[in-house]
């Protein structure tokens, strides 16, 4: 089955036709749709004839736009657009890191399109709780005064954290009140994750009002959860949600 490469406006995407419920992958902050988890899921879905969609947010990967002009609200609008225009019927949303936050926003806006949700090191509210609350005073002052700060990264070049990102994040928080999600939710979280504390997954599970919520902790798992055994865990989790044998 050939994967279609296309654009929706300035948003680049790759799509596999197939059976529903389809699977939509939402990547992380400053990542793109060619990472190991997205590639694994593309192969997993192709082998089973399952519809699959992945895409790049504005300013990410092959999509147009400037990364430093983006925000949680903008990227959630990107995800909402591809969900509504490029998929049909209920979908399994798989959100990695920031994509976990965005998948929660989509679940809240379009519950009728949600067949299930898998969070991989999901990072809801990270701009407030994992960035702003933990930044030194000097960094906060620089963001307030200059509009941005270049944050060092273990995964590549430093990237800008803007005042717009922080302020917009506050308008999209999801952990300040109960989250009404009735569809099944599965949260995969590494306990050795240096970026998202494993307690975040427990906190998120407690905020979701639905009862079909499970948290899987991987003791030696890092933030990416992309080792072969961790990808196999993702496949088993997705297969169980779809009522299939993941193999």
Catalytic residues: 97, 193, 223
3-state SS, residue 163: helix
According to DSSP, residue 173 is labeled -
Instruction: Give the separation between CA 161 and CA 169, rounded to whole angstroms.
Output: 12
**Sign of the C-alpha dihedral, residues 70, 34, 243, 201?**
negative
Contact 72, 99 (CB under 8 A): no
Burial class (CB in 10 A: 0-12, 13-18, 19+), 85: exposed
Contact 160, 67 (CB under 8 A): yes
Instruction: Give the separation between CA 48 and CA 70, rounded to whole angstroms.
Output: 35
- The stretches of the chain forming alpha helices (DSSP H) are 36-48, 72-86, 98-109, 126, 137-146, 163-170, 199-207, 228-241
CB atoms within 10 A of CB 68: 15
Instruction: Give the separation between CA 80 and CA 146, rounded to whole angstroms.
Output: 31
Residues forming a β-bridge with 42: none
The tokens for 137 are 């005073």
């Amino acid at each position: 089955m050939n994967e279609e490469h296309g654009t929706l406006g300035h948003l680049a995407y790759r799509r596999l036709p197939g059976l529903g419920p389809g699977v939509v992958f939402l990547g992380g902050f400053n990542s793109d749709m060619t990472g190991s988890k997205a590639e694994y899921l593309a192969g997993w879905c192709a082998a089973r004839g399952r519809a699959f969609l992945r895409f790049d947010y504005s300013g990410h990967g092959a999509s147009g736009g400037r990364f430093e002009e983006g925000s949680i609200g903008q990227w959630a609008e990107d995800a909402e657009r591809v969900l509504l225009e490029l998929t049909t019927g209920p979908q399994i949303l798989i959100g990695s890191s920031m994509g976990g936050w965005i998948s929660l926003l989509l679940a809240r806006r379009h519950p009728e399109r949600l067949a299930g949700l898998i969070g991989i090191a999901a990072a809801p509210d990270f701009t407030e709780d994992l960035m702003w609350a933990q930044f030194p005073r000097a960094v906060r002052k620089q963001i307030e005064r200059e509009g941005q700060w270049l944050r060092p990264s273990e995964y590549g070049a430093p990237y800008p954290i803007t005042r717009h990102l922080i302020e917009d994040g506050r308008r999209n928080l999801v952990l300040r009140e109960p989250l009404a999600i009735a569809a099944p939710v599965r949260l995969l979280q590494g306990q050795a994750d240096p970026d998202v504390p494993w307690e975040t997954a427990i906190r998120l599970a407690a905020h979701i009002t639905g009862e079909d919520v499970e948290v899987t902790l991987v003791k030696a798992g890092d933030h990416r959860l992309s080792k072969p055994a961790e990808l196999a865990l993702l496949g088993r989790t997705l297969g169980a949600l779809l009522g299939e044998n993941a193999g």
